[in-house]
Amino acid sequence: MRHGQGAVARALFPPEITVQVKALACEIPRERNIPFSRLSSADIARQAVERGITASISGNTVWRWLSADAIRPWAHRSWIFPRDPLFASKAGRILDLYQGMWEGMPLRPDDFVISADEKTSIQARHRIARGTPAAPRRVRRVEFEYERMGAWAYMAAWDVRRAKVFGTCESTTGIEAFHRLVDLVMAQEPYHSANRVFWVTDNGSSHRGVTAEKRLAQWYPNAIQVCTPIHASWLNQVEIYFSIVQRKALTPNDFENLSALKDHLLRFQAYYERIARPFQWKFTREDLKRMLEKVSHEKTAQAA
């Protein structure tokens, strides 16, 4: 009987009310003069009543309707619209490299693709009290208060095709620090005598623009720098490695001093390289084309 009563209750809402409530959930609150930054299902139910959409409705009913269409107005993610007028062509070159192509031709076996960047301001946080390990019905405890013992910039280079990783800890970033990372890679085989070594970097000040491309070629004639478009670090595969470092090696952060932090980072780097496999990068030029078309449509809709 209760199941039948629930079915009757749900039937009391005609489709047009469901549509209006979902439309309400897709609105930005401040554009409707609602002093919220986001809406919960209970907030939406209250707004539906206040606007006269329906005489009464529960937050659970709203949640059920939104869940059916995977609408989550209480969630958000940060987003930057592409600003580089050459975004498609710059990003396309990098995606081609990940697919083993360059300027329409397959890469040779003695061509290599290096993804490089720096993870800045990695602090050594010395906890003022010793933590406790996990126990039955109790998670690991980490002291909240800590002393700052300094910070490293972790410079890393990821060989996209061979799953090799190289890294140094530097007190600061800059051209000299980047040069040391390049030397670490290019001074050894197979890179030193390779046909070409493509260096994928973002637009950081130490490796940005035509000047940086020429500088890298002067350091090593077989090295070719390929910069991501502005605000497109997600195209740089080393960022995936950095996310692994953050999750596996730096959270929680508890190091007595900078020396301990450096030793920890480099030992993790050596361990990870032993078990690493090339990342299964599936985003292609066709995916990029569809994404940019969608973004263009959204920007046009916003301007209308």
**pLDDT (tens digit, 9 = 90+) per residue, 260-301?**
999 999 999 999 999 999 999 999 999 999 999 988 877 776
Q: What are phi and psi of 266, to 5 degrees?
A: -70, -30
Q: Which residues of 67-97 are buried (b: 16+ CB within 10 A; e: fewer)?
A: eeeebebeeeeeeeebeeeebbebbbbbbbb
Would you say how long the chain is, in residues? 304
- Please, are residues 229 and 90 in contact by the beta-carbon 8 Å criterion? yes
Going by the DSSP 8-state scheme, the letter that residue 82 receives in this structure is -
Taken in order of first residue, the domains within the chain and their CATH numbers are: 8-68 (no CATH), 87-131+141-286 (3.30.420.10)
pLDDT of residue 10: 52
% helix / strand / coil in the chain, to the nearest 5? 45, 20, 35
* pLDDT value for 2: 44
Residues 125, 130, 133, 137, CA torsion sign: negative
pLDDT tens digits for range 190-204: 999 999 999 999 988
State the Cα–Cα distance between residues 9 and 4, nearest whole angstrom: 9
Contact 261, 152 (CB under 8 A): yes
pLDDT for the residue numbered 205? 83
pLDDT at 303 > cutoff 80: no
Residue 201: name the closest of 216, 222, 220 by CA: 216
Q: What is the pLDDT of residue 7?
A: 46
Terminal CA-CA length for the chain: 51
| Beta strand extents in 66-218 (DSSP E only) | 101-102, 105-106, 111-127, 146-159, 164-170, 196-201
What is the pLDDT, as a whole number, of residue 156?
A: 98
> What pTM did the predictor assign?
0.83
Is the confidence at residue 117, as pLDDT, over 70?
Answer: yes
| Mean pLDDT, residues 144-154 | 96
Six token digits for residue 20: 């209006």
**One-letter identity of residue 267:** R
Residue 121 has pLDDT above 50, yes or no: yes
pLDDT of residue 304: 60
Count of CB atoms within 10 A of residue 157's CB?
25
